[in-house]
Structure 1
Amino acid sequence: MTRVVLVHGIAQQNKGPQTLLADWYPSLKDGLILAAGVDLAQDEVSMAFYGDLFRPAGHRALGEPELDASDIQEGIERDLLHQWWMSAAEQERRVAGPGTATRLRTPLLVQRALDALSHSAFFAGLSERAVIGSARQVRRYFTEPEIRTGVQSRLARAISQDTEVIVAHSLGTVVAYEVLCAHAEWSDLTLITMGSPLAVRNLVFERLTPSPVVGHARWPAPVKRWTNIADAGDVVALTKELAPSFGDDIRDLLVHNGAKAHDVRPYLTARETGMAMAEALRDGDTAGW
């Protein structure tokens, strides 16, 4: 019986559903116990995994496919890299900012952004090609219909009549939102979004399906409660509050995740996340699921 469905974000292409579940579950369990003394068995949790849809075909080189500044494409990839650079520079003194509000129009400026991000604690341990690859996955989700459809179908198949809570992280929050909007026949679900880019204008918000109208996005019909959680230093969650764009019923909460602001594990162990999950699970118990 899957009561909680988890939805991951970018850069998970070399893992699998059980690998990720084993990584997430201890933190999810700790968050529930620390916040509310609630336990949840691992067989009540599942991972809606789609990372393999982004896994590249085999190639002769070792490691990740070779990518450099010249491979960054105009549009989403460059704009996203620029946003990460600007946000990291605002949060960390060690990261040199662009100095102007100019967009990244040449490989030289793109290389400056990549060099600056290499000094960021947020991107610590990520190679230049991994940063580029992460931006590319976001672009592919929004511009390649077969990828978008495939990703969404993975989540849709994971949700059953036993599902009470969907916990989504990073790009996974976009996936969860779009799938929930597409399935008005579902009901009584709690949505918890962590490190979400959903409200980032000129990059994510306007590309959502269904399209926002006059700056306001549709409320996903199956959702009875929505809690959005962000760390102030999370470079991906550039807009911390979703309520102004998605509805006043959203509960926006700030947490402190330490140096790894976007890491899913401190998000899951946060008291705020544990309380939101505990409330939903108690509601489900009361309803007699």
Structure 2
Amino acid sequence: MAERAGDLPPGAVPDVKDVDVAFYGDVFRAPAAKGGQAGPRSAAEVTDPYEVDLLLAWAAAAGSPREQHGTKAPTPRTLQRAMNALLRSPFLPGPVAERFLLGVLRQVRRYFSEDVVRERAMEAVAARVGPDTAVLVGHSLGSVVAYEALCAHPEWPVRTLVTLGSPLGMPSLVFDRLRPAPRDGRGCWPDGLACWTNLADQHDVVASVKRLADLFAPVGAPALNAAGAAKAPPEAAARVLRDVPVDNGWKVHDLLRHLTARETGVAIGEGLRAG
């Protein structure tokens, strides 16, 4: 990461001991179901309305035609076709992809529907933020947790947010469920935050809305894309949201690909320089 961050002054590259990771995967762990596997074992068995809608929305983002159902629930065959469209996309290649994706659907649904899960996830982030924390990085659902935690803690010293493969802009299923709730179609800008860089691969179905600047940038503040960022005047560095495309190859949503992208290193490096 350090070598991808651009020209950093001496001492600006953090030591390993200065980098921390918030883990909250355990908040999604449920007791094993008696007699077998908890939750659906295939897309055809998905019945929760939120999970159904999320699966179909991701499949549509992957290029699968959105079928019209009227007032009827989608059939198991429709849901399996949607899953197959995702498995053919660059999103989650591999033999265990379907079972993994079913778990992701369940995690996202539980985060937005169960207050205790939401609170414990944000508490895990809060436990890792110290008085000298300058940059907060969130990937996938973790970008939602990072954003909501920042909004809930205006006293934090964090000045830079970096989101990777973020679903924050996804209408109805994510954006409209955020806390604090968006007002007049705009999400809250976390107090104290100076710079937000959002990175997404063009083929990432989770980050189906690539441009967050239209939804979150403070009114009157510059909302820059990657091309315009270099031309911005120095004063534009205050309260700016930049949407930056990345090419993650065949693993479009992969965290490691995001973290080893030069664009990510530059965004984090700028946050470290700003202090």
- Quickly name the TM-score band, shorter chain normalised: 0.7 to 0.9
Residue among 14, 37, 47 paired with 1:40? 14
Counterpart selection for 1:270 from 246, 261, 275 = 261
1:221-276 Cα deviation digits (max 9, x unpaired)? 13111111111111100000100000132011111110101011121121211111
Q: What residue is the counterpart of 1:50 in the other structure?
A: 24
Task: Give the aligned residue type for 2:260.
Answer: T
- Residue 67 of structure 1 pairs with residue 41 of structure 2: yes
Equivalents in 2 of 1:250, 1:84: separation in Å?
25
Report matched runs for 1:25-174 at 5 Å. 29=1, 32-36=2-6, 38=8, 39-58=13-32, 67-89=41-63, 97-98=64-65, 100=67, 102=69, 105-125=74-94, 126-174=96-144
Distance 1:60 1:117 in 2: 30
Partner-residue secondary structure (3-state), 1:47: coil
4+ long deviations beyond 6 Å:
60-64
Q: For residues 61 and 164 of structure 1, do their structure 2 counterparts lie closer, same or farther at Cα, with a shift above 3 Å needed? A: farther
Give 2:65's aligned amino acid: P
Where does the alignment leave 5 or more consecutive residues of structure 2 unmatched? 218-222, 224-239
Q: Which runs of 5+ in 1 are unaligned?
A: 1-28, 90-96, 285-289
When the two structures are aligned, how many residues end up with a matched partner?
Answer: 247
How many percent of aligned residue pairs carry the same amino acid? 44
Contact 1:164 1:189 in 2 (8 A): yes
- 1:56-79 per-residue CA deviation (whole Å, 9 max, x = no partner) reads 324577887652335423432111
- SS of 1:192's equivalent? strand
Q: Give me the whole-angstrom Cα distance separating, in 2, the residues matched to 1:228 and 1:65.
A: 32
Structure 1 residue 148, shift from structure 2 partner: 0.6
Q: Distance in 2 between matches of 1:144 and 1:129?
A: 22
Aligned to 1:282: 273
TM-score (norm 1): 0.79
User: Residue 220 of structure 1: which of 187, 190, 195 is its match?
Assistant: 190
CA distance 1:87–1:102, change in 2 (3 Å) = farther
Distance in 2, Cα, partners of 1:267 & 1:70: 31
